[in-house]
């Protein structure tokens, strides 16, 4: 089993951090810091809670004047990079939101994002003063550094994972769009991925906005085409007819696959097992056609109802009369994003969103049946 992500904050990390801070400022009390962090709640705290515990301990052990505390962090931040150092922008979020510290905090967020990411820390600033913060993020969108440009896009995503939603941008994404316009031909894939993710977020609440952008952007630049394609992925999964047509998927659904089959390696499995599915389909004769082949599982929920999730198998243009076939493994192990429940699961083979074959699998409690996954 993979180690829990919260364990990136371990005693060696904390000791090293305390030592670095003491070297940067001899007033930093290493043992006091460690005692504050390793409190009674530490062991059971998840990742973000551990991060906040560390941040609050920094707030008590660093100089109480905000500007002086930042100067201490600036002495070590070049050597402190990666996910664990989300604590630095989190410090800005916690202690730098007074209006008098605005400029200091903006400088710190732009600096710290280059070694970790400030995408979560900017969101409370957006919530408290969206107009001012979005003006700042438009400035960041024109920065020479790709990490700062990405912050401009990633930080204002309406539905940023881990970061909570920005309700005003879910309702009206207009303030976000000028940033995406600036970055739509960005040379950095790191930035383009963020722009695409932002568009995909917008599509969930304002699909027409993304439809209009897709039509306007597509075909203007190869980088932009990549963004449009990935930014429309939710609309494609929903078989949005406008987007499907834009990307050349056949509007012909029934009859597109003349033959189709879906076979499972087993009809029963236990939670934690792995199965294999095999599919085959024959595309109708005629001209070339763009098709998207997926399998969809109706996952049983705790209340006995089901919710469908799709998994991509193939997405390409094929000649008429082509026979497509393949195999794919699927794990029934619980994930942080999905918990499995026993029950009958319907699995369907989809071509451009249209079901062409199906099978059923009975999922049993963990260790209830033997399988190749055990």
Helix, strand, coil fractions of the chain, as percent rounded to 5:
45, 20, 35
Q: Where in the chain is the domain with CATH 2.60.40.10?
A: 257-364
Q: Other C-beta atoms within 10 Å of 298: how many? A: 18
pLDDT value at residue 3: 64
Q: What is the mean pLDDT of each run of 10 residues along the chain (374 residues)?
A: 79 97 97 96 94 97 98 97 96 97 98 97 96 97 98 97 93 98 97 98 98 97 97 94 90 81 96 96 92 95 93 94 95 91 96 94 80 44
d(CA 281, CA 258): 7
Q: Give the DSSP letter of residue 249.
A: B
What global pTM score does this model have?
0.85
Phi, psi of 89 (to 5 degrees): -65, -30
Strand partners, 327: 278
| pLDDT (0 to 100) of residue 371 | 44
State in words which class domain 257-364 has: mainly beta
Torsion of CA 211, 176, 188, 88, to 10 degrees: -140
Tell me if 17 sits within 8 A of 50, measured CB to CB. no
Residue position matching structure tokens 């970790």 = 116
């Amino acid at each position: 089993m993979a180690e829990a992500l919260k364990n990136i904050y371990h005693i060696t990390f904390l000791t090293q951090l305390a030592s670095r801070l003491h070297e940067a400022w001899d007033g930093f009390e290493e043992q006091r810091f460690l005692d504050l962090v390793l409190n009674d709640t530490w062991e059971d705290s998840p990742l973000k809670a551990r991060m906040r515990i560390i941040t609050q301990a920094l707030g008590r052990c660093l100089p109480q004047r905000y500007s002086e505390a930042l100067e201490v962090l600036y002495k070590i931040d070049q050597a402190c990079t990666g996910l664990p150092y989300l604590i630095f922008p989190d410090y800005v979020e916690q202690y730098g939101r007074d209006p008098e510290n605005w400029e200091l905090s903006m400088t710190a967020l732009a600096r710290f994002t280059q070694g970790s990411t400030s995408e979560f820390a900017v969101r409370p600033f957006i919530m408290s003063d969206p107009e001012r913060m979005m003006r700042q993020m438009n400035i960041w969108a024109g920065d020479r550094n790709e990490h700062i440009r990405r912050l401009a896009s990633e930080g204002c995503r309406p539905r940023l994972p881990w970061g909570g939603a920005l309700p005003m941008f879910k309702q009206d994404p207009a303030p976000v769009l000028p940033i995406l316009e600036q970055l739509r031909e960005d040379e950095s894939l790191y930035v383009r991925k963020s722009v695409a993710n932002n568009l995909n977020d917008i599509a969930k609440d304002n699909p027409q906005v993304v439809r209009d952008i897709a039509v306007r952007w597509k075909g203007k630049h190869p980088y932009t085409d990549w963004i449009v394609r990935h930014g429309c992925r939710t609309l494609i999964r929903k078989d949005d007819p406008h987007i499907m047509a834009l990307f050349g998927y056949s509007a012909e659904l029934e009859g597109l696959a003349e033959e189709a089959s879906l076979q499972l390696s087993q009809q029963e499995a236990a939670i934690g097992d792995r199965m294999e599915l095999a599919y085959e389909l024959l595309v109708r004769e005629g001209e070339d056609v763009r098709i998207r082949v997926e399998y969809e599982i109706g996952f049983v929920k705790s209340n006995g109802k089901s919710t469908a999730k799709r998994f991509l198998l193939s997405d390409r243009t094929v000649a008429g009369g082509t026979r497509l076939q393949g195999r794919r493994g699927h794990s029934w192990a619980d994930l942080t994003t999905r918990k499995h429940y026993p029950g009958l699961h319907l699995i369907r083979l989809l071509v451009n969103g249209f079901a062409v074959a199906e099978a059923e699998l009975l999922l049993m409690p963990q260790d209830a049946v033997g399988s190749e996954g055990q």
